[in-house]
Amino acid sequence: MKNFIFRALLAGVCVSSALAATKDLVYCAEGSPEFFSPSINHSATSFDVTQQIFDNLVTFESGTTNLKPALATHWQVSEDGLTYTFFLRRGVKWQSNALFTPKRDFNADDVIFTLERSWKPEHPYFHVTHQDHPYFNDMAMGEVLKHIRKVDDYTVEFVLTEPVAPFVANLAMSWAGIQSAEYGAAMHAAGTPEQFDQAPLGTGPFQWRAYQKDRSIVFTAFDKHWAGRAKVDRLTFLIDTDPSVRWAKLQAGQCHVLAYPNPADMPQMRQDMRVKVLSQTGLNVGFLAYNISKKPFDDVRVRRALNMAINKRKILRTVYQHTAVPAINPMPPIQWAYNREVEDDVYDPEAAMKLLAQAGYPKGFTTDVWAMTVQRPYMPDAVSVAKLIREDLAEIGVKVEIKSPEWTDYVRGMKTGEHQMGLFGWGGDNGDPDNFLNTLLGCSAMNGFNVARFCDADYDDLVKQAKRSSNKQERADLYQRAQVIVKAQAPWFTIAHTVQFKVVRREVEGFELSPLGRLSFHRVFLGQPSP
């Protein structure tokens, strides 16, 4: 049945080798999604896909981190900061497919269904497809939610256990895309709950049509989208992990927008009159995480020694090729509450050897470093970074084996602590420091995106205080103190904050970069192609 449905959906929407129709937009993507369900995804690659299909209660204004209404027209917050009431948009239509035709519009049941899927193990979809709900868990949403109540069909009330300053911004993040409770019930009743995630239906501007793993994803415009129909008829993601191949496809006119260009290709791109190079300071960080639950990385002297032994400037010059700035703190300098007083580790291999000897490793030790093979916005070539780290650490007697699991296994293994050292990174999701300092280094995220498995009581207390406070200056002071602690404890070797690049053909109009790295094609259209 599943294969029949796939073939039926694929019929008539195969990707051609050239772009013949001006109403067809093609995006050269860097990888395949993990899943088509927002709440169980880990990576930006997956969210690039689900953002086309699903809408949130709130979203971000184009090109900014400012919030604006989406499926909720407005919201109210109680004086004590514990109750959030969302008033829902009426008349929002759901998409349909060969499996399901909706009998009603979007309403409060869908909001509750979506949030409780990540929250309550007894939910019929909690364990479907994948039982890990990474963003919900790593932000400790289950701890701060007391209950979600349906006031009426178009009013939903969230009651919290404690104030959470970025709560509304958290609901604008891609993981909180709203799914159809009615579709979920229908697939569950049919005995095929997996279809709910494999053939996704949302309220977004594009409807999923077909998927060939590691090759393509095809969408068509959703005619009944509440914010207006998309300006192109069809959207295709052409998938290739090699950035140079993606660039060749853009040059050949096989795609219109290019993800994550290779820094080595940038000079040629800037000289090609057929394309535009768009750039924006990235809200991201790339780093080497030490798994401090394992020896010898449980000793801060070892971590600090390795930090002094790695030549960060060489990594930026050789791999990033001047498309990034050195990272000092766990979040970028453009993020409010950034502590500019914190100093970076000094590159000093001799001092590193002495400190390593003090820690009981005068002859070094043997370890591994995980390096992903897929290109990430915060790290254009992790394997090359790992090789440079291996060379530097060999100078102080540390022998390093490079391991590169497939991307899905990579993320899973990093989160469960299989690595000893691992290259990882993060792109900001909501413009709030909590999204870096808590999500990546908080105790509650130790089985999630806190891949260093760092848990410091003083640090965690500061971050939690900041999360509860409604005073921005107080929050900034607390976050700045937390950054001092994390630098001293060295759970990471911070590497880089990259500039975000997208390369588009000249005929592409309406495409904007987002400081959060979000990908929107809703208002994109095609003009006259360049000669």
Are 469 and 517 in a shared domain?
A: no
Helix (H, G, I), strand (E, B) or coil at 58: strand
Diameter over CA atoms, the chain: 71
| Residue 233 near residue 21 (C-beta atoms within 8 A) | yes
CA distance readout (Å), 320 to 261, 266, 376, 473 = 11, 11, 12, 34
Residue 351 in tokens: 């001092």
* CA–CA dist 150, 440 (Å, integer): 32
Q: What's residue 98's pLDDT?
A: 96
Q: What's residue 21's pLDDT?
A: 45
Q: What's residue 361's pLDDT?
A: 98
CA distance readout (Å), 85 to 73, 116, 295, 449, 487 = 11, 17, 48, 29, 39
When mean pLDDT is compared across 121-135, 283-297, 352-366, the lowest value belongs to: 121-135
- pLDDT of residue 452 exceeding 70, the answer is yes
Q: What's residue 6's pLDDT?
A: 38
Mean pLDDT of 349-372: 98
Q: What CATH number is given to the structural domain containing 418?
A: 3.10.105.10
Q: Which residue has the higher pLDDT, 85 or 444?
A: 85
Pairing of strands 58-60, 234-239: unpaired
**Residues of the chain with pLDDT > 90: what percent?**
86
Are 91 and 218 in a shared domain?
A: yes
CA distance readout (Å), 486 to 25, 92, 441 = 44, 45, 9
The CA-based angle 407-408-413, given to 5 degrees, is 95
Q: In this structure, is residue 531 part of a structural domain?
A: no
| CA atoms within 13 Å, Cβ hemisphere of 116 | 18
Q: Which pLDDT band, with edges at 50, 70 and 90, does 528 fall under?
A: confident
Q: In this structure, is residue 267 part of a structural domain?
A: no
Domain count, the chain: 2
* CA–CA dist 46, 513 (Å, integer): 18
Mean pLDDT of 431-440: 95
Helix (H, G, I), strand (E, B) or coil at 72: strand
Are 168 and 212 in a shared domain?
A: yes
Element (H, E) at 22: none
For the entire predicted model, the pTM comes to 0.86
CA 225 to chain CA centroid, Å, is 25
* CA–CA dist 280, 63 (Å, integer): 10
Are 468 and 510 in a shared domain?
A: no
Mean pLDDT of 394-413: 96
What is the chain's mean pLDDT, rounded?
Answer: 93
Q: Which pLDDT band, with edges at 50, 70 and 90, does 5 fall under?
A: very low
Q: Sign of the CA dihedral 112, 116, 117, 123?
A: negative
Are 38 and 62 in a shared domain?
A: yes
Question: Per residue in 164-210, pLDDT tens?
Answer: 999 999 999 999 999 999 999 999 999 999 999 999 999 999 999 99
Q: Which pLDDT band, with edges at 50, 70 and 90, does 16 fall under?
A: very low
Are 344 and 236 in a shared domain?
A: no
- pLDDT of residue 11 exceeding 70, the answer is no
* CA–CA dist 214, 485 (Å, integer): 42
Are 354 and 400 in a shared domain?
A: yes
Q: What's residue 479's pLDDT?
A: 98
Q: What's residue 83's pLDDT?
A: 98
Q: In this structure, is residue 69 part of a structural domain?
A: yes
- pLDDT of residue 437 exceeding 80, the answer is yes
| Residue 76 near residue 84 (C-beta atoms within 8 A) | yes
Q: In this structure, is residue 100 part of a structural domain?
A: yes
**Residues of the chain with pLDDT > 70: what percent?**
95
* CA–CA dist 41, 409 (Å, integer): 13
Place of tokens 């969408």: 219
Closest CA to 277 of 500, 18, 427, 521: 500
CA 260 to chain CA centroid, Å, is 14
Are 197 and 294 in a shared domain?
A: no
* CA–CA dist 192, 128 (Å, integer): 10
Q: What's residue 23's pLDDT?
A: 86
- pLDDT of residue 348 exceeding 80, the answer is yes
Tell me whether the omega of the peptide bond preceding residue 529 falls within 30 degrees of 0, making it cis.
no
| Residue 330 near residue 286 (C-beta atoms within 8 A) | no
Q: Which pLDDT band, with edges at 50, 70 and 90, does 511 fall under?
A: very high
Phi, psi of 472 (to 5 degrees): -65, -40
What count of other Cβ atoms lies within 10 Å of the Cβ of residue 76?
Answer: 10
Mean pLDDT of 248-256: 97
Are 131 and 241 in a shared domain?
A: yes
| Residue 388 near residue 311 (C-beta atoms within 8 A) | yes
Q: In this structure, is residue 346 part of a structural domain?
A: yes
Q: In this structure, is residue 274 part of a structural domain?
A: no
Q: Which domain range does residue 338 map to?
A: 284-499
* CA–CA dist 118, 127 (Å, integer): 9
* CA–CA dist 287, 371 (Å, integer): 11
Element (H, E) at 414: helix 407-416
Question: Per residue in 207-225, pLDDT tens?
Answer: 999 999 999 999 999 999 9
Q: Sign of the CA dihedral 59, 141, 452, 41?
A: negative
Question: Per residue in 96-122, pLDDT tens?
Answer: 999 999 999 999 999 999 999 999 999
Are 119 and 237 in a shared domain?
A: yes
Phi, psi of 278 (to 5 degrees): -100, 135
Mean pLDDT of 505-515: 95
Are 512 and 495 in a shared domain?
A: no
Q: Please count the residues of the chain.
A: 531
Q: In this structure, is residue 315 part of a structural domain?
A: yes
* CA–CA dist 233, 206 (Å, integer): 9
Q: What CATH number is given to the structural domain containing 57?
A: 3.90.76.10
* CA–CA dist 260, 240 (Å, integer): 11
When mean pLDDT is compared across 21-35, 93-107, 221-235, 272-286, the lowest value belongs to: 21-35
Are 19 and 74 in a shared domain?
A: yes
| Residue 218 near residue 236 (C-beta atoms within 8 A) | yes
Q: Which pLDDT band, with edges at 50, 70 and 90, does 378 fall under?
A: very high
Q: In this structure, is residue 275 part of a structural domain?
A: no
- pLDDT of residue 17 exceeding 90, the answer is no
Residue 289 in tokens: 């995480």
For residues 100, 105, 111, 116, the Cα torsion angle rounded to the nearest 10 degrees is -30
Q: Which residue has the higher pLDDT, 2 or 501?
A: 501
Mean pLDDT of 349-368: 98
Closest CA to 255 of 75, 30, 468, 72: 30
Phi, psi of 304 (to 5 degrees): -70, -35
